[in-house]
A and B are shown apart, each in its own frame.
Chain A
Amino acid sequence: MQRSDEQGLAKNFGRWLEPLLVPVLAILTAVIVGGIIIKVVNGDPIAAYRGLIQGAFGSPKALSETAVWATPYIFAGLAVAFAFQGGLFNIGAEGQIALGAVLSALIGYALPGWLHTSLPAYIHIPLAVGMGMLAGAIWAAIPGALKAYTGGHEVINTIMMNYIALNLTSFLLNGPMRDPNPLDLSARTPEIAPSARIPPLFNIPGMRVHWGFVLALVVAVIIWWILWKTTLGFEIRTVGANPDAAKYAGINVKRTIIVTMAISGALAGLAGAIEVTALNYRHELGFSTGYGFDAIAIALLGKTNPYGVILAAILFGAMRNGATRMQFLTQIPTDIISVIQALILLFVAADAIIRFIYRIRARAERVVLTRGWGG
């Protein structure tokens, strides 16, 4: 629980800015290094970045698309950040997103048929989204339970669950859940019923930003509230900061680990469910590829704080969105974004490097995010 002591306004202002300093410098440094890489491969970094910014913020439509990109990033970033608060490293967001999307799509397109009736949107949407969250929660709770009861490390287990999810969704989307329309050649589900669709925010053609973005912002506030204002959050953070002390204090550590992973997975599942119900109206194979790692970068860039996650997710969304225009204008492959994002993660994770380059004195203590196989 951070709290400012009674100090001067200027100093308080500095306290507010200080946590932003390192992330901002990390982004700046990554952009510079990214520019050098573009230069090395005979590209024009200035033109590339200009295209990137234009594509991300250049018009109302660009802004709308940035928000569309940012939405799943916020959910997935929150998922990883939440797990970090509980001392757990969820590398499995990708698989949890895929499972959430699959189940949400299934409820979306098949439920009215099963019930032989159409459903009102106020029932169908929550049901589709809720089942997506549940799928994600279960998918993450499995490695959580393995960690709690056998000590199997969640890092490797969540990655394994990613590959299992990939195989499972491939199987479903190529088989039982595949769109029966013979003209549809890709591995994807049929479209979901209109009653399961979350509407766009504005009724303007080309503006795809939807209510899911607003939901993401609200969920971030809820997550912050859970973590810092409730006894559950206290338990989760205590287990994360010192599991031995948590046990000593009477907290059920095993249960807390599983609950933390389940909530984290539910958030990732929500990312998948919203993509299906508010944007694509179906689930297509492989759409979640890369989200898991992006989510880690977003969570760390946001310093595992829900509000930080929002900012980081919007930045990442903007980069992904702007990259298409950059490629169109300069023929620099959009993959350079992955390199820049990896560099941001590098500099954020190793903030000592940034502090070293820019000669900033370390003030915060080292925070232990994860533990090795032994502990």
Chain B
Amino acid sequence: MDGRRFAIIVFIIAIMFGTVVLVGISKNTPLVIVTSMIATTIAVATPLTLGALCGLYCERAGVVNIGIEGTMLGGAFFGWLASIYMNTIFHFAAMPSLIVGVIAAVLTGGLFALLHAVLSITFKVDQIIGGTVINILASGITGFLNRQMFFGAGSVFHGQIPDSPGVLPAIRIPLLADIPVVGRVFIQQPIAWSAIALVIITQFVIFHTRWGLRTRAVGEHPRAADTVGINVMHMRYFNVIIGGLLAGLAGAYFTLESISSFQPDMTNGRGFIALAAMIFGNWTPFGAWSAALVFGAAQALQINLQFFRELIPAQWAFLQNSYVVGLAPYLLTMLILTGIIGKTIPPAADGKPYEK
């Protein structure tokens, strides 16, 4: 990530944080407000980060994946379903049920990605249409099964939603988490921690390993890779599937870490926003992560302003309206795509099927 882009991101986040601090300063100390903002920011950024990493593995290998949204949704539903099955039908304890749920979510993501790979790599379907198929399929299947499982003919749960095993507990980093006020930042749930770890791992894999060199080669100039004996199809398949596993994990965030229930179409465009984060991050892991943090900060701004509702001057009160504040991530995404904030360069063979 270049310095200019980094400065812009820091600037945007600082403005958002500053706003909340200025509004809330009479009620709370700045430090408390900032740590609470950071905690929300990281949490909200988690599925976006994982989604962006999914996009990154795919597009670095030359496959555009707009099916991240649907892949997340699938992961969210099947992960949740698996945890409930383990919990209520097989009577597992909450924690093992949740772990099985996460595994199921990740595998579901992999499966959806496999479908995208078959469509776009083997059958060379237009990749954007392939992704759209995944989104529609995921929405349809999860909506149908959600109703069928719980309310439909011969449903296992006889018309009632069973108790869920709850959400994944937070993990605190010893010592660091004990620091007064700021320590809150070091208490995050496991998927949030793994998202950060995966950013670092992806950075290493893509730029410093043989796998990464070959992945980038396949995304830039597949024929050149082919002529030195690299199997373009295999590289693309595996990267798309790795991406899908990550998107599945992002899905698990929605139903196993954030809240403990499933609603139809609950991903709400986050898969597309994740793609915008990846583009803004110029196809680099740290860039994507920091862009995801911008979206996280926007949401944290919205949530935290609610605590200080009565402190906002009347003429600005309409800004609190959730319909107005809720526009921020979408407008930000469109702004990013204009390239005004800085032009980005996609991998040269991004979105192009490879014909031998």
Is B144 a contact of A333 with CB atoms below 8 Å?
yes
Q: Which residue of B lies closest to A154 (CB)?
A: B337
A89 within 8 A of B: yes
Given A150-B340, A332-B153, A342-B133, also A164-B330 (CB < 8 A): yes
- With a cutoff of 8 Å between Cβ atoms, the chain B residues found around residue A164 in the complex are 327, 330-331
A311 within 8 A of B: no
Give the shortest distance, in Å, between A300 (CB) and chain B (any CB): 7
Partner of A372, one of B124, B127, B132, B339: B127
Partner of B152, one of A152, A168, A332, A339: A332
* Complex interface: stretch among A49-57, A59-67, A155-163: A155-163
Residues 166-195 of B, flagged 1 when their CB comes within 8 A of A and 0 if not, give 000000000000000000000000000000
Complex: how many Å from CA A293 to CA B140? 11
Complex: how many Å from CA A297 to CA B135? 12
B230 within 8 A of A: no
Is A352 a contact of B64 with CB atoms below 8 Å?
no
A220 within 8 A of B: no
B151 within 8 A of A: yes
A366 within 8 A of B: yes
Q: Which parts of A25-53 form the interface with B (CB within 8 Å)?
A: 37, 41-43
Q: What class of interface size applies to chain B in its complex with A?
A: 35 or more
Q: Which parts of B134-179 form the interface with A (CB within 8 Å)?
A: 135-137, 139-141, 143-149, 151-154
Given A349-B125, A349-B133, A350-B123, also A146-B352 (CB < 8 A): no
Q: Which residue of A lies closest to B352 (CB)?
A: A372
Task: Find the residue from B144, B269, B333, B347 having the highest chain A CB count within 10 A.
Answer: B144
Is B154 a contact of A155 with CB atoms below 8 Å?
no
B281 within 8 A of A: no
Give the shortest distance, in Å, between B187 (CB) and chain A (any CB): 31
Partner of B143, one of A163, A338, A343: A338
Is A371 a contact of B272 with CB atoms below 8 Å?
no
B334 within 8 A of A: yes
Is A163 a contact of B144 with CB atoms below 8 Å?
no
Q: What class of interface size applies to chain A in its complex with B?
A: 35 or more
Complex: how many Å from CA A137 to CA B324? 23
Is A352 a contact of B351 with CB atoms below 8 Å?
no
Given A42-B154, A164-B327, A372-B346, also A339-B141 (CB < 8 A): yes
Is B324 a contact of A336 with CB atoms below 8 Å?
no
Complex: how many Å from CA A282 to CA B269? 28
Is A160 a contact of B330 with CB atoms below 8 Å?
yes
Residues 325-356 of A, flagged 1 when their CB comes within 8 A of B and 0 if not, give 00000111101101101110110011011000
Complex: how many Å from CA A16 to CA B173? 69
Complex: how many Å from CA A330 to CA B127? 37
B66 within 8 A of A: yes
Complex: how many Å from CA A161 to CA B279? 18
Is A41 a contact of B129 with CB atoms below 8 Å?
no
Complex: how many Å from CA A372 to CA B272? 14
Is B350 a contact of A372 with CB atoms below 8 Å?
yes
Given A339-B144, A342-B136, A371-B351, also A155-B130 (CB < 8 A): no
Task: Find the residue from B64, B129, B269 having the highest chain A CB count within 10 A.
Answer: B129
Is B339 a contact of A151 with CB atoms below 8 Å?
yes
B117 within 8 A of A: no
- With a cutoff of 8 Å between Cβ atoms, the chain A residues found around residue B151 in the complex are 333
Complex: how many Å from CA A330 to CA B119? 34
- With a cutoff of 8 Å between Cβ atoms, the chain B residues found around residue A324 in the complex are none
Residues 102-143 of B, flagged 1 when their CB comes within 8 A of A and 0 if not, give 000000000000000001000111111110110111011101
A89-B129, A163-B268, A293-B135 known; 8 new pairs, CB 8 Å cut-off, are A156-B275, A156-B333, A157-B334, A330-B153, A335-B143, A341-B136, A342-B139, A373-B279
List, sorted by A's number, 20 A–B pairs whose CB atoms are closer than 8 Å: A37-B144, A41-B145, A41-B148, A41-B149, A43-B153, A146-B334, A156-B66, A160-B334, A167-B324, A296-B132, A296-B136, A333-B144, A333-B151, A335-B146, A335-B148, A349-B126, A369-B129, A372-B127, A373-B346, A375-B351
Interface residues of A (CB under 8 A from B): 37, 41-43, 89, 91, 146, 150-153, 155-157, 159-164, 167-168, 170-171, 174, 293, 296-297, 300, 330-333, 335-336, 338-339, 341-343, 345-346, 349-350, 352-353, 366, 368-375
